[in-house]
């Protein structure tokens, strides 16, 4: 068969090319040789695709797809930012960034719109929940991570982004949108009678100063009759690790908040609380649900382990891993966004997959969404430690009663000691 | 057989197609390629050193190759060593085994059906039997693929299965052992039977046995029906494709001369033309080809060739529309293989069926299904870049779709019964295509 000759030629070229870039990296040990062979196998595949694919592929695209494939196969939170996405991410970190105002989730490797933000470019252009984002700026998004898709939609306010949208049964269409400023959602608070209600939507550098301001404002408004606080972490998907540590510190006097452990045993970082509780030790209820993830679970876990707060609501998401961003070629080659560590609550438990089990289980009430949890994500990191204890039955609204926010209502009843459950009494320092 | 469905929808395999696509881009471009590979090995090193747990090198490289290849189009992919071996069985059309279609249920392997004339059928295995142990080792805890691997083996070797037959009350709680001798089991064989004076031939796929299967089917049908044979129905419904050379041979078996298909790769010199040869084995009898939305790839080559030559009447629903050719490129011993899109194919009249599909001469539905507009299928209509259909010409069925009667008795297979009526001249306005009519 004539095809065989190609195989031979390609093989030589492939090995040559791959060996040239890898030989410097390894000694003559056996493991190194295996690694080198594996890299050579990649070089061979790269060569074959370059030379034989139906149309001339871009080398750059091939390698970016390969790195992305390697990362996304590791676990559900590892991904690759190509140079554009990485640049956009840095812009975001620098504060001035814009977007189109969509919330997305992943379905079968595709990015689907979950909701659109009112009066943002996406909703003005008619993008609807259920739409699939097929391509951004002409680049197909199939198989790209959600982080990557979001990063590509973001950019400087006023710049244009082209989004190709697929909607059931009609031909995919392209829209050109102008990015608008995204409000970084800040902490909000209000008085609920004699209880202070504080909602943290995400953890950013502004969260802890905002929390201090909220607590002192609520103290002033409610006065000495203040019964306690409800900290609402529902649907808070996380954010900056340090911000969650600072928030815990505000409620704790001492002890460990969280420890982060990398691959090797000596790679452990422990974060401790410093004296001072900004609430003066008032009772605390933390609300969680299936959308409470990551940095939020660090807060709920620390306050639960220290018996500083009563955790109320439904089972949290279960993301117990920490990702690090590692630029390649000083950022010119994009960056790896990779899981490098797990975190552990003060009692030493990992909440990976198991999530935070509330002290008082209260259902979200009728119409509460079903949350996709860590355990359902493809390639999720496995759980550690003993399996979670079985959860009891949640408190549900009594027939004929309707609540605007059932979990919050139960939290308030709990703080007023009118909630009839066999659960624990309020614990506070 | 469903358990071999890993091949996915419509693959035209051909080692031949790789030919001529010689490395052309060496030289100036290579410095860029080195830099890219450098970037890759940097990323690989970082992952090896820093990921939260140690990861196997080959697992990382497999994922990288898969990521690279599958980003190209929906039909390009990477097969690891295991998937590659399975594909070779599929392509060969046979394997050493016992001949059962199986699924997993309650942690046990459940027999969906034994295949006729195989060791399993001869030993009396029945649909619904559970396999509790293989050679005395419990199945519980194995996944389906691992269990299948244990049941396969060289022809002539022995295997003992522990069977739980819950369908039989007397045996429901008493597992019993059956010892079988493995034999060659055929996959996706051509099946045929006589429908009165018409020969019916069903092709479930295109593997190495397909053209010879067709040839013996025609021979047998001619012998059974005799000179009064009215024609043939070639059933390609839900046939996802397979080997390109088999599709060429099958088309050629119905044609006396002319082009069957041409494939065009990246460069002009990659064009390959395949011609009919060896004569029409049916002696020019009328042929009706049945197609539907599951008819893809190699099947569409056959339907397209016979339609363009006006050799057959194409009946059914618009086919899938996969007009690309994948080549299997092995990556060395144990390294798996790439399944890479290397060419498009064109019917004799020069049309690409990419995203358009083969539009039947007579549109006949099996029920109330709609002809899905291909363009609404992102997987085919929106292949990246160059895989968009280059043809300006679009085919649109002009006649309304014929559907089974909504009341009264509906034939078990409406499309087939319509095809038989057509061959019997019961359908007004449609002269049947036969070689003599041209």
The residue among B176, B99, B97 whose CA lies nearest residue B130 is B176
Q: Answer for the pair B360, B419: CB distance below 8 angstroms, yes or no.
A: no
A80 to chain B: closest CA residue: B43
- Is the reported ipTM for this assembly greater than 0.90? no
At how many degrees (to 10) do helices A241-251 and A207-222 cross? 30
Q: In the CATH hierarchy, which top-level class contains the domain A96-181?
A: mainly beta
Measured between beta carbons, the chain B residues lying within 8 angstroms of A60 are 32, 36
Only one residue has tokens 């891993």, namely A321
B33 contact residues in A (CB cutoff 8 A)? 17, 46, 50, 59
CA end-to-end distance (rounded Å), chain A: 80
pLDDT tens, position by position, B195-249: 999 999 999 999 999 999 999 999 999 999 999 999 999 999 999 999 999 999 9
Q: Which of B141, B157, B186 is the last residue of a domain?
A: B186
Chain-chain contact of B40 with A49 (C-beta, under 8 angstroms): no
Domain that holds residue B249: 191-437
CA dihedral A197, A198, A201, A206 (to 10 degrees): 160
Considering the domain architecture, whether residues B182 and B221 belong to the same structural domain is answered as: no
B370 has pLDDT over 80: no
Verify whether residue B322 is a known catalytic residue.
yes
Same domain, B102 and B205: no
Domain-embedded: residue B112: yes
Size of interface A-B (CB pairs under 8 A): 236
| B368/B317 Cα distance (integer angstroms) | 11
- Evaluate whether residue B38 is within a structural domain: no
Answer whether B44 sits within 8 Å of A70, measured CB to CB. Answer: yes
Q: How confident is the model at residue B399 (pLDDT cuts 50, 70, 90)?
A: low
Residue B201 lies in a domain: yes
Q: B78 to chain A: which residues are within 8 Å by CB?
A: 45
* A42, A62, A321: residue with CB nearest B52: A321
| Strand order across the B198-202 sheet | B191-195, B198-202, B231-235, B287-291, B313-316, B362-363
CA atoms of B32 and A114, how far apart (whole Å): 40
Residue B63 lies in a domain: no
**In this structure, are B296 and B415 located in the same domain?**
yes
Same domain, B249 and B140: no
Q: Which residue in the set B29, B73, B332 is minimally distant from A41, CB to CB?
A: B332
Residues B338 and B393 in one domain: yes
Residue B22 and residue A68: Cβ atoms within 8 Å?
no
- The whole-angstrom distance between residue B36's C-alpha and the CA centroid of its chain comes to 36
Same domain, B107 and B134: yes
Q: Which CATH number fits domain A188-415: 1.10.287.130, 1.20.1180.10, 3.30.70.980, 3.90.226.10?
A: 3.90.226.10
Say whether both B246 and B224 belong to one domain: yes
- For B38-82, the pLDDT digits (tens) are 999 999 999 999 999 999 999 999 999 999 999 998 899 999 998
Give me the pLDDT at residue A321, please.
Answer: 93
Task: Please report the DSSP string for A207-227 in residue order.
Answer: HHHHHHHHHHHHHHHHGGG--
The answer as to whether B67 is a domain residue is no
Contact B68 A66 (CB under 8 A): yes
CB-CB under 8 Å, A67 with B43: yes
Task: Report pLDDT for B34.
Answer: 83
Does the distance separating the beta carbons of A172 and B341 come in below 8 Å? no
Residues with Cβ within 8 Å of residue B84, at least 6 apart in sequence: B328, B330, B336, B337
CATH code for position B284: 3.90.226.10
Residues B179 and B297 placed together within one structural domain of the fold: no
Q: Name the domain count of chain B.
A: 2
Contact call for residues A374 and A353 (beta carbons, < 8 A): yes
Specify whether B252 is located in the same domain as B347: yes
Count of CB atoms within 10 A of residue A377's CB?
A: 17
pLDDT tens per residue, range B299-346: 999 999 999 999 999 999 999 989 999 999 999 888 899 999 999 999
Does residue B404 form part of some domain?
A: yes
Sequence ranges of the domains in chain A: 3-57, 96-181, 188-415
pLDDT at position B174 is 86
Same domain, B115 and B218: no
Q: Select which of B322, B324, B361, B434 is catalytic.
A: B322
Of A22, A134, A262, which has the smallest distance from its Cβ to B41's Cβ?
A22
pLDDT one digit per residue (tens) for chain A, 429 residues: 232 222 222 222 223 233 333 333 333 455 677 788 899 999 999 999 999 999 888 999 999 999 999 999 999 899 999 888 888 777 655 544 678 888 787 777 788 887 777 778 998 898 988 889 999 988 888 777 777 788 888 877 788 899 999 987 788 899 999 988 776 667 889 999 999 999 998 898 889 999 999 999 999 999 999 999 999 999 888 888 899 999 999 999 999 999 999 988 788 999 999 999 999 999 999 999 998 999 999 999 999 999 999 999 999 999 999 988 899 998 899 999 999 999 999 999 999 999 999 999 999 877 777 788 888 887 888 888 777 777 788 898 888 888 889 999 999 999 998 776 544 444 444
Query: CA-CA distance, B235 to B312, in Å (whole number)?
Result: 12
Instruction: Tell me how far apart the alpha carbons of residues B129 and B98 are, in angstroms, rounded to a whole number.
Output: 14
> Where among B137, B170, B186 does a domain terminate?
B186
Q: Using the 3D structure, point to which of B148, B168, B186 is the last residue of a domain.
A: B186
Name the residue among B294, B353, B293, B288 with its Cα closest to residue B315: B288
A 10 A CB-CB count for B298 gives 35
**Which of A43, A37, A55, A33 is closest to A10 using CA atoms?**
A43
A294 is an active site residue: yes
Report helix, strand or coil for B263.
strand
Beta strands in A203-307 (DSSP E): 228-232, 256-261, 268-272, 284-288
Closest residue by Cα to residue A296 from A185, A199, A159: A199
In a domain, B125, yes or no: yes
């Amino acid at each position: 068969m004539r095809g065989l000759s190609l195989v031979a030629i390609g093989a030589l070229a492939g090995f040559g090319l791959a060996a040239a870039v890898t030989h410097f990296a390894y000694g003559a040990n056996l493991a190194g040789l295996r690694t080198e062979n594996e890299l050579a196998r990649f070089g061979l595949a790269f060569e074959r695709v370059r030379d034989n694919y139906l149309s001339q592929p871009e080398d750059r695209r091939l390698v970016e797809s390969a790195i992305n494939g390697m990362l996304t196969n590791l676990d559900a939170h590892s991904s690759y930012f190509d140079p554009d996405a990485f640049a956009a991410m840095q812009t975001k970190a620098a504060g001035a960034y814009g977007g189109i105002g969509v919330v997305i989730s992943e379905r079968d490797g595709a990015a689907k719109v979950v909701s659109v933000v009112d009066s943002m470019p996406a909703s003005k252009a008619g993008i609807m929940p259920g739409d699939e984002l097929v391509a951004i700026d002409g680049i197909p998004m199939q198989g790209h991570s959600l982080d990557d898709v979001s990063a590509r939609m973001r950019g400087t306010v006023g710049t244009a982004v082209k989004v190709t949208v697929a909607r059931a049964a009609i031909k995919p269409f392209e829209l050109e949108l102008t990015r608008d400023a995204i409000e970084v959602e800040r902490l909000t608070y209000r008085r609920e009678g004699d209880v202070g209600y504080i909602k943290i939507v995400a953890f950013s550098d502004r969260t802890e100063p905002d929390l201090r301001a909220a607590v002192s404002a609520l103290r002033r408004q409610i006065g000495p009759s203040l019964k306690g606080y409800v900290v609402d972490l529902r649907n808070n998907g996380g954010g900056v690790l340090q911000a969650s540590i600072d928030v815990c510190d505000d409620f704790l006097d001492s002890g460990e908040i969280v420890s982060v452990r990398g691959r090797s045993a000596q790679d452990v970082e422990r974060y401790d609380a410093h004296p001072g509780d900004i609430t003066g030790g008032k009772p605390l209820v933390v609300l969680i649900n299936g959308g409470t993830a990551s940095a939020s679970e660090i807060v709920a876990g620390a306050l639960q382990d220290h018996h500083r707060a009563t955790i109320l609501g439904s089972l949290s998401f279960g993301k117990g891993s920490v990702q690090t961003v590692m630029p390649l070629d000083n950022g010119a080659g994009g960056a790896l966004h990779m899981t490098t560590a797990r975190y552990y609550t003060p009692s030493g438990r990992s909440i990976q997959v198991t999530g935070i089990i509330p002290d008082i289980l209260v259902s979200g009430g009728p119409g509460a969404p079903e949350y996709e949890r860590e355990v359902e994500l493809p390639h999720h990191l496995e759980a550690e430690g003993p399996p979670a204890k079985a959860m009891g039955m949640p408190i549900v609204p009594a027939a004929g009663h309707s609540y605007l926010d059932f979990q919050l209502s139960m939290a308030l009843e709990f703080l007023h000691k009118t909630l009839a459950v066999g659960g624990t009494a309020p614990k506070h320092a | 057989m469903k358990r071999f469905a890993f091949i996915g929808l419509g693959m035209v395999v051909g080692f031949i197609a790789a030919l001529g696509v010689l490395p052309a881009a060496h030289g100036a471009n290579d410095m860029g390629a080195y830099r890219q590979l450098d970037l890759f090995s940097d990323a690989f090193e970082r992952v090896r050193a820093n990921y939260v747990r140690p990861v196997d090198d080959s697992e990382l490289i497999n994922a990288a190759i898969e990521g690279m290849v599958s980003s190209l189009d929906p039909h390009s992919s990477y097969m690891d060593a295991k998937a590659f071996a399975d594909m070779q069985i599929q392509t060969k059309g046979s394997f050493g085994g016992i001949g059962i279609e199986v699924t997993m249920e309650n942690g046990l392997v459940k027999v969906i059906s034994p295949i006729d004339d195989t060791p399993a059928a001869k030993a009396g295995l029945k649909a619904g039997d559970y396999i509790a142990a293989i050679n005395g080792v419990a199945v519980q805890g194995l996944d389906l693929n691992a269990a299948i691997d244990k049941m396969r083996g060289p022809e002539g070797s022995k295997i003992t299965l522990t069977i739980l037959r819950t369908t039989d009350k007397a045996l429901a709680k008493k597992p019993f052992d059956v010892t079988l001798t493995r034999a060659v089991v055929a996959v996706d064989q051509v099946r045929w039977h006589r429908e009165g004076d018409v020969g019916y031939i069903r092709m479930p796929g295109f593997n190495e046995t397909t053209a010879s299967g067709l040839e013996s089917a025609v021979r047998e049908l001619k012998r059974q029906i005799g000179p009064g044979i009215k024609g043939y129905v070639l059933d390609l419904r839900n046939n996802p494709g397979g080997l390109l050379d088999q599709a060429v041979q099958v088309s050629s078996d119905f044609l006396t001369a002319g082009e069957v298909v041409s494939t065009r790769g990246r460069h002009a010199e990659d064009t390959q033309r395949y011609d009919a040869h060896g004569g029409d084995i049916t002696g020019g009898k009328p042929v009706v080809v049945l197609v539907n939305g599951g008819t893809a790839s190699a099947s569409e080559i056959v339907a397209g060739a016979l339609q363009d030559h006006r050799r057959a009447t194409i009946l059914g629903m618009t086919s899938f529309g996969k007009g690309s050719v994948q080549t299997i490129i092995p990556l060395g011993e144990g390294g798996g293989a790439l399944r890479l899109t290397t060419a498009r194919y064109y019917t004799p009249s020069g049309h690409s069926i990419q995203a358009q599909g083969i539009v039947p001469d007579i549109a006949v539905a099996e029920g109330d299904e709609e002809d899905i507009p291909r363009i609404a299928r992102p997987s085919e209509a929106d292949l990246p870049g160059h895989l968009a259909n280059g043809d300006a010409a679009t085919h649109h069925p002009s006649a309304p779709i014929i559907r089974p009667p909504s009341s009264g008795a509906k034939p078990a297979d409406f499309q087939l019964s319509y095809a038989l009526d057509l061959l019997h001249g019961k359908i007004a306005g449609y002269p049947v295509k036969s070689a003599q009519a041209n």
